[in-house]
Structure 1
Amino acid sequence: MKHRKKFLALFLAVVMVFSFAVTAFAQETSDPSLTFLHFNDIHANVLENEDSGQIGLAKFKTYIEQVNPDLILDAGDSLHGTTFATLSEGATMRAILQDVGVNVATAGNHDFNYGTDRLIELSRDGNYPILVANYKDAADDSLPFEANMIFDRQGYKIGVFGLATPETKTASNPLNTEGYDFLDVVTIAKEQVEYLESEGADVIIALVHLGLYDSEPLAEAVAGIDIIIDGHSHDTLPEGKVVNGVLIATTGNHLENIGRIDLVIEEGEITSKTAQLVTYDEASQLEANAAIADRIEELNAENDEIGQIVLGEALVDLDGERENVRTRETNLGNLISDIMLETTEADVALTNGGGIRASIPKGQITMAHVLTTFPFTNYLVVIEVSGSDLVAALEHGLRADLDEDGNLEQNGGFPQIGGMRVVYDKTRDPGDRVVTVTVGSDLVDPEASYKLVTNDFLAIGGDGYSMFSEAEKLSEHELLSEVLASYIKAEETISPEVDGRMEQVEDAVTDPDDDSEDLPKTGETQQPIAVGIVLIITAAGMLFIPLRKYQLKNNK
């Protein structure tokens, strides 16, 4: 009997230990109560691209169907960036993201590129909502976008509010937000949390387009936010980042990753929240969703019809030939540079000839012509540069070796310019070819600051323009293709010319033993030259007076 009691006690102890272990294991491996998928800054890149590691929306849809998430959230900058979106001013992106299954979005700075009125129109098209709580009409303080929403999922209330970056005032054309004000993100976030809590939200998500440099301070300053899903800075957080108890998640850009967040909620409390990224290597193994792939083709066909719209007429051929735009000034290079200046009111313009991919023939100009000539999604950026950096940039653009005929070899970085006149000598060594640079009527001042409009590729140091990479960014604007199309449409007829703004010195000194001094390329030696001229005139005058006296004396 004693043995039986001992056995029974031992059995019960083992069962209790086993039960405790099973319970503990179950707690550690609990299925998530809620799962969210998210992305940011896809910039209308809808297709898979193996070279750049872009997943594409068709395979994203396949992953969505496998996971069956509770929410799919877009942290902004989706409606602009490629011709898939820009030809329809964002309508095609709204349509395809609705088909993919997006539930809610906030607005990125580039989503404003079509103007606030157009973004408001898109937000009311019957597709998923766009939330922006910190943007108001300056005239009447009204909010043009919804501020928040509450979603009921799995018996839980999920409150989502949206914030857009105040940098939009300069990170998109300032005209796009004219008449509207951005409100303080911390103040508005506190108000939104208070409201959503009062509505019984179990989970509060801040869906923001701020960048980590602003979303991390937001997490520190505002209590009650559970998750921040961020965009704008294109940062990648493989496992998210916890700041003040807030899980911050962001995916990079161009749908190179899919963001996933899993929550475990027990007895009304969030006991676990984790973030992860599904990379291109993982997602590329999926089969593309046929319906989404077909829908993209259908929308592209609609875009092709838009491409046949006539914008205006060219009275001359617009020279975008590869061998010309990469070696010399052309009328098309002058045209786009002048349009860049007019659009941004910068002091000078510089874009790379390699970004001009085709000529536009004399006659009617269609949108297809423009997109063939500027197929890339480069947009205008205004930066502040010194005169010395401007000269360095021109030297860099003129660095190509000479071919057997003594002409510059083709160079994608050859500068097509506006707002300045450059005289250069191709026979000199690379890095010392610029003879003079004139901005307006004055030689460039190496110590002065100039507003330079270029494209986003060069602004970050592309094509070797490293002198631009650390420059202060003053504003961002539309795509090169967009500003060209708008200009042609407004002017109706165009006939740009080559006007000698980039001039080669034909009679340059070629004797290597000639030590003669060259004209200054900047204004740094104007004062010594002026002083020298004054001294010469003074000396001549001093000689002239006694000579004149001698002549008068002998004429008597």
Structure 2
Amino acid sequence: MNLMLPLSVFSKLQMYMTLLWIIFLSGCQNTEEKEIVIISTNDIHGRIEQFSKLATFVKRIKEEHPNVILVDAGDRFTGNPYVDHAKEKGFPIISLMNDLGYEVGTLGNHEFDFGQKILRARINDATFPIICANINSSQGELDSIPPYYIIEKDGIKLGFIGLVQTGTDQIPSTNPERLKDITFDHYLDKVEDYKPLKRQCDVLIGLTHLGVDKDSILATQMPELDIIIGGHTHTLLETSKEINNVIIGQTGLKLQYAGLTILKFTKGKLTERSYQSCLIDTITRVDSCIARKVNYFMEQPEFKEVIGISSLPFKSQESIGNIVTDAMLRSTVSDFAFYNQGGIRLSALPQGDITLETLLSIEPFGNHIVLHDLSLSDIKALILNRFNQDGHVIDLYVSPGSYTIIQDQQGKGTDVILKDRNDRPLVEKASYKVALNNYVSIQYDFPDKGKGLHTDISIVNAMVDFIRANTPLAPTNKRTYLSPVK
């Protein structure tokens, strides 16, 4: 008796069994639980000293979890002279991020501080994409930026949408001179455009540089998001904030912490989400290879040049601001100089050597001096408009003399009493010669906004000349005051 099946029947049976096996395996795959971990950073501000610690943290997490994604929510630049004033500005931090294996990042407002040409070069250097959905840059030197990026890990698709903050002038908080031919949309205006992206992904993530309050609004308006990984406000969320069933995370600033988001899936569906900020600052066993590279970037001798000496510690940002405005005054022989609080990135200065590194840490933006001819009422408008727009906080440091802002019962500034170096109140005259930095000259509201004479005197060079001529330096008296609310 011949029990052998015809070849055609055997082939069909074999094909049928193979198909059943594939279906079985597919079913097993859908029922198995999967886990994806996202490590996030934001507002690094050039803090490359922390990268050897971050590398250790990333290595530990990858040893425990097979599917790890490393992302950044913007402001990689501005805050460390070894990054901001490297031969190729910004390159050290991008190089280190490449080494650690970042997979996606978004734009922060400080990404524009070096101008479009340099930003484009750093984006090209990165081995990971930079995304932003509310920028229109195709007509600028920067070229087009993709709005989103999809990463697939272990069969799970994660969509990342990039967003950057804009102010009342509808641009990010940077020097507008560096945004030529670029426009920005309000972040909420892009919500409807990217809601359909949810259908292409298993998880939809906002990678934003908006700040926690705006992230909360975004979560309310876009429930399609599962997670928002944010930045900009330097807020440390030790655990997630949940709004409208969207979890929000942010890690403070300067790589003191890293975010850890754990996503769990069953049958390809997201079933669990958790977020926590993990302390990086206290890690002692650092990655030696990354540490050597960081040391190389930080051993450039030109940054160690001693410019002068501080005979006493400078304990407030205003005391440092007084150095800046005194230097601006000396370099231009002006009647007054003003400098904005946000343009000074150190809040204290120890007693001892003042190096070029110190000055570049105080003023990392590369700003220059702009001269204006202003009346007394123009100067008052400059001070009051900013005070009333900025939450009733004094913003402008001054040299010489001092000023006091008069407030009404609601705290609104109504007048300014300005005094000269001899403590005499200023009187109205034809005009005063006033030195501002280019950011204040263009961005602040006052009658001569944007009409000043641009000089080739950089703020840093003005400080170098002033400190060399006046070393040793000691803190000067406070110069800005608020009257009690009446």
TM over 0.5: yes
Which one of 32, 57, 64 corresponds to residue 63 of structure 1?
A: 57
Q: 1:180 and 1:287, CA in 2 relative to 1: closer, same or farther beyond 3 A?
A: same
Residue in 1 aligned with 2:291? 293
Residue in 1 aligned with 2:118? 118
Q: 1:71 and 1:107, CA in 2 relative to 1: closer, same or farther beyond 3 A?
A: same
1:178 aligns with 2:170: no
Residue in 1 aligned with 2:91? 91
Q: 1:422 and 1:197, CA in 2 relative to 1: closer, same or farther beyond 3 A?
A: same
Deviation, 1:134, is 1.0
Residue in 2 aligned with 1:371? 357
Which amino acid is the alignment partner of residue 484 of structure 1?
I
Q: 1:486 and 1:170, CA in 2 relative to 1: closer, same or farther beyond 3 A?
A: farther
Q: Secondary structure at the match of 1:225?
A: coil
After superposition, give the CA deviation of every residue in 1:16-61 in whole Å (9 maximum; x if it has no partner): xxxxxxxxxxxxxx976111110111111122xxxxxxxx211211
Q: Secondary structure at the match of 2:255?
A: coil
Q: Secondary structure at the match of 1:171?
A: coil
Residue in 2 aligned with 1:36? 38
Q: Secondary structure at the match of 1:114?
A: coil
Which one of 315, 320, 335 corresponds to residue 327 of structure 2?
A: 335
Residue in 1 aligned with 2:338? 348
Q: Counterparts in 2 of 1:330-479, with a 5 A limit?
A: 334-337=326-329, 348-349=338-339, 370-376=356-362, 384-385=386-387, 422-424=420-422, 434-437=423-426
CA contact 1:264–1:270 (8 Å) conserved in 2: yes
Greater displacement, 156-165 / 370-379: 370-379
CA contact 1:216–1:243 (8 Å) conserved in 2: yes
Which amino acid is the alignment partner of residue 36 of structure 2?
L
CA contact 2:302–2:356 (8 Å) conserved in 1: no
CA contact 1:349–1:453 (8 Å) conserved in 2: yes
Normalized against structure 2, the TM-score is what?
Answer: 0.63
**Aligned partners of 1:197 and 1:250: how far apart in 2?**
22
Deviation, 1:355, is 5.9
Q: Percent same amino acid among aligned pairs?
A: 20
Residue in 2 aligned with 1:79? 77
**Aligned partners of 1:253 and 1:180: how far apart in 2?**
27
Q: Counterparts in 2 of 1:77-226, with a 5 A limit?
A: 77-88=75-86, 89-137=89-137, 139=139, 144-167=144-167, 169=171, 171-194=173-196, 196-198=197-199, 200-226=200-226
Q: Counterparts in 2 of 1:316-335, with a 5 A limit?
A: 322=310, 334-335=326-327
Q: Secondary structure at the match of 1:161?
A: strand
Aligned residue pairs, count: 375
**Aligned partners of 2:178 and 2:122: how far apart in 1?**
15
Residue in 1 aligned with 2:241? 241
Q: 1:285 and 1:41, CA in 2 relative to 1: closer, same or farther beyond 3 A?
A: closer
Q: 1:299 and 1:245, CA in 2 relative to 1: closer, same or farther beyond 3 A?
A: same
After superposition, give the CA deviation of every residue in 1:230-258 in whole Å (9 maximum; x if it has no partner): 00011121111111111111111111211
Which amino acid is the alignment partner of residue 218 of structure 1?
L
After superposition, give the CA deviation of every residue in 1:447-495 in whole Å (9 maximum; x if it has no partner): xxx9987999xxxxxxxxxxxxxxxxx99xxxxxx94357899xxx999
Deviation, 1:268, is 2.5
After superposition, give the CA deviation of every residue in 1:339-382 in whole Å (9 maximum; x if it has no partner): 7999xxx973488998698999xxxxxxxx64354544676899
Which amino acid is the alignment partner of residue 198 of structure 2?
E
Which amino acid is the alignment partner of residue 338 of structure 2?
V
Deviation, 1:286, is 4.6
Residue ranges of structure 2 left out of the alignment (5+ in a row): 1-31, 369-381, 404-417, 441-448, 451-456, 471-486
Q: 1:285 and 1:190, CA in 2 relative to 1: closer, same or farther beyond 3 A?
A: same
1:484 aligns with 2:476: no
**Aligned partners of 1:259 and 1:164: how far apart in 2?**
19
Q: 1:136 and 1:154, CA in 2 relative to 1: closer, same or farther beyond 3 A?
A: same
Normalized against structure 1, the TM-score is what?
Answer: 0.56
After superposition, give the CA deviation of every residue in 1:304-353 in whole Å (9 maximum; x if it has no partner): 166599xxxxxxxx9955359989x99986433577999xxx97348899
**Aligned partners of 2:99 and 2:358: how far apart in 1?**
29
Residue in 2 aligned with 1:512? none
Q: Secondary structure at the match of 2:421?
A: strand
**Aligned-pair Cα RMSD in Å:** 5.0
Rg larger in 1 or in 2?
1
**Aligned partners of 1:497 and 1:371: how far apart in 2?**
18
Q: 1:206 and 1:307, CA in 2 relative to 1: closer, same or farther beyond 3 A?
A: same
Residue ranges of structure 1 left out of the alignment (5+ in a row): 1-29, 48-55, 310-317, 361-368, 399-419, 425-433, 444-449, 457-473, 476-481, 499-556
**Aligned partners of 2:180 and 2:333: how far apart in 1?**
20
Which amino acid is the alignment partner of residue 69 of structure 2?
L
Deviation, 1:177, is 1.4
Deviation, 1:228, is 0.7
**Aligned partners of 2:85 and 2:364: how far apart in 1?**
15
CA contact 2:329–2:435 (8 Å) conserved in 1: no
Residue in 2 aligned with 1:277? 277
Q: Secondary structure at the match of 2:152?
A: strand
CA contact 1:320–1:357 (8 Å) conserved in 2: no
**Aligned partners of 2:226 and 2:130: how far apart in 1?**
20
Q: Secondary structure at the match of 2:57?
A: helix
Which amino acid is the alignment partner of residue 109 of structure 1?
N
Q: 1:95 and 1:422, CA in 2 relative to 1: closer, same or farther beyond 3 A?
A: same
Deviation, 1:385, is 4.0
CA contact 2:227–2:248 (8 Å) conserved in 1: yes
Q: Secondary structure at the match of 1:277?
A: strand
Q: Secondary structure at the match of 1:94?
A: helix
